[in-house]
Amino acid sequence: MVVSAHPVATAVGVDVLRDGGNAIDAAVAVHWALAVTSPWAGNVGGGGFAVVRLHGGQAMALDFRETAPGKASSDMFLGADGRPLHEVSTHGALASGVPGSVAGLFALRDSLGRLPMERLIQPAIDLARNGCVLSPLEAHEINVCMPMLQKYSTRPSAFTARAKWEAGDTLFQPDLARTLERIRDRGRDGFYRGETAQAIVHEMERGGGIITTEDLAGYEAVWRPVVRGQYRDIGVISMPPPSSGGMMLLQMLQGMEAMDVGAAGWQSPATVHRMVEVERRAFADRSSFYGDPAFTHIPVEGLLDSLYNLGRMVDFNPLHATSSATVRPGLPPTEHEQTTHFSIVDGEGNAVSCTTTLNGMYGNGVVVGGAGFVLNNEMDDFSSAPGVPNSYGLTGGEANAIAPGKRMLSSMAPTILERDGKLLMVLGSPGGSAIPTSIFQVILNVVDHGMDMQQAVSAPRFHHQWLPDTIQVEYDAIAAQDSLKLVNMGHRFKSRRAIGRVDAILRLPDGRLEGGADPRGEDSAGGY
């Protein structure tokens, strides 16, 4: 089964599974396909993370996060007056980190795949060349991003081929098809060296960016040990730093152990209150401790210590909200709107949970001239200066300051759950800071509230990230009288459109798979 953000990408993955490919092969093919069907987030110019669990239970994590270019500096997004230049960290050539996705897909296939890369990339090439028919939402999104793509790209592109897109129009991407063909024919070097690398560097020269041929040739994806934790009788496997997402998820789940969540009721004031208080504290820790482990010492064991997380809740008042102004990052023992997620399980029980991103929708707005793909604006995930919020309102300090070659802190949390040593669930989400909290809620929906996979994904969500000190809620997420009770407890509310976009697979006790495709997007589940 495959659950992804686009029905055509889902079908590409299911075809690979039918053809004898395993979940890893399908993941690689789905990632290539999403770069064509869903260029607002699917990408070759971005980066991401994948968590794999093989049917025997071994798990591994692949980090293909972008890196800061060699010429990056900690103050590159501060003006002469020391004020943050938000526009520069989010748009145009300087906003892009060195892309990691292509290296990531080769690392995945070469280590764990079965089918040749030519087979896995060809469907994407065909889609780019033969065109994709746009849904109403896709046409709308290109139109919305058109001014940005026109302003920041230095050459016309497939997206600017029409002044206005309508549902039913076909988007042809011949430049992207040729880039994918170079990758098919020359492997990773088809992207990180030669013509594609030159196109990126020329784009940088025209647009005032700093990515060099050396930066591209030197990019490496990194295999990392997964982070593991326990929630009730369930084993949780997720992404380690440089994403904060997996560890925050484990911190938040630990914070719920002391409560009978099911008995307290779904979205009841008591449940929402405790979840918010747990989220608030995890994000306070994020702002101070988390960053690229190659540059920053992260007290991983301390942050995941159950006593530490119990201790974080000592000032929890069951009747009143804690003010974020009084919540400081803890002192752990010293040791020790765009991204897309897809979940895949094959017939043998191998599972892949992969989240990949350009950061913002259509990344930094720069389509690499002649190469047909958008670059990321992941540099905004660094902290430009202590306390300066990024696009998701997240602040940070030294641990996540910009340095050459460093990976910017993420919140992405591709996650796999197991029970009694057997695969239970594969899930993940886009949504920036709302990624770990969306996954947190879907897990509680199934484990504590007894929902099935689709109900758990569809159910309305809320989110708290320490600062700003408000509970962000989807429409109808919390009943009016319960909101009132929470306000009386000292919480503040702000409504928000969609929180996260979770694509998940649940393995039922009899071995059948149930997909949960998020209705907040055009996501689809497919299997056989």
Q: Which of 181, 189, 214, 337 binds ligand DON (CB under 6 A)?
A: 337
461 and 477 Cβ atoms separated by less than 8 Å: yes
302 and 336 Cβ atoms separated by less than 8 Å: yes
Torsion, Cα 75 81 83 88, to 10 degrees, reads -60
Q: Which of 101, 309, 338, 437 binds ligand DON (CB under 6 A)?
A: 338
Residue 96 is a binding residue for ligand DON (CB under 6 A)? no
123 and 32 Cβ atoms separated by less than 8 Å: yes
What is the nearest approach in angstroms of ligand DON to the Cβ of residue 295? 17
Residue partners of 317: CB distance under 8 A and separation at least 6: none
Residue number with CB closer to ligand DON (158 or 413): 413
44 and 179 Cβ atoms separated by less than 8 Å: yes
- Tell me which of 322, 339, 356, 395 is the catalytic residue: 339
**In the window 356-415, what residues touch ligand DON (CB under 6 A)?**
357, 359, 378, 381, 410-412
Stretch that binds ligand DON, among 148-156, 207-215, 228-236, 430-438 (CB under 6 A): 430-438
458 and 314 Cβ atoms separated by less than 8 Å: no
Residue number with CB closer to ligand DON (68 or 177): 68
What is the nearest approach in angstroms of ligand DON to the Cβ of residue 226? 17
What is the nearest approach in angstroms of ligand DON to the Cβ of residue 168? 26
Q: Which of 148, 84, 204 is nearest to 364 (CA)?
A: 148
376 and 45 Cβ atoms separated by less than 8 Å: yes
What is the nearest approach in angstroms of ligand DON to the Cβ of residue 339? 3
Q: Examine the residue annotation and report whether 339 is marked as an active-site residue of this protein.
A: yes
Residue number with CB closer to ligand DON (338 or 350): 338
Residue 339 is a binding residue for ligand DON (CB under 6 A)? yes
Residue number with CB closer to ligand DON (277 or 381): 381
Stretch that binds ligand DON, among 276-284, 299-307, 336-344, 418-426 (CB under 6 A): 336-344
Strand order in the sheet with 471-474: 462-463, 471-474, 493-496
Residue number with CB closer to ligand DON (183 or 284): 284
In order of 139, 315, 377, the CA distances from 143 in angstroms are 6, 48, 19
DSSP string, 294-315: TTS---HHHHT-HHHHHHTTTT
What single letter denotes the amino acid at residue 458?
S
Stretch that binds ligand DON, among 180-188, 193-201, 316-324, 428-436 (CB under 6 A): 428-436
Residue 522 is a binding residue for ligand DON (CB under 6 A)? no
242 and 65 Cβ atoms separated by less than 8 Å: yes
Residue number with CB closer to ligand DON (439 or 477): 439
Query: What is the Cβ-side half-sphere exposure of residue 514, based on CA atoms within 13 angstroms?
Result: 15
What is the nearest approach in angstroms of ligand DON to the Cβ of residue 292? 12
Q: Which of 397, 360, 286 is nearest to 96 (CA)?
A: 360
By CB under 6 A, the count of residues binding ligand DON is 14
Q: Which of 333, 309, 305 is nearest to 255 (CA)?
A: 309
Interaxial angle between packed helices 23-37 and 117-130, expressed in degrees from 0 to 180 and rounded to the nearest 10: 20
Residue number with CB closer to ligand DON (485 or 496): 496
Query: What is the Cβ-side half-sphere exposure of residue 82, based on CA atoms within 13 angstroms?
Result: 2
Q: Which of 42, 299, 302, 431 binds ligand DON (CB under 6 A)?
A: 431
Residue number with CB closer to ligand DON (254 or 359): 359
Active site residues: 339
Site of interaction with ligand DON (CB under 6 A): 337-339, 357, 359, 378, 381, 410-412, 430-432, 435
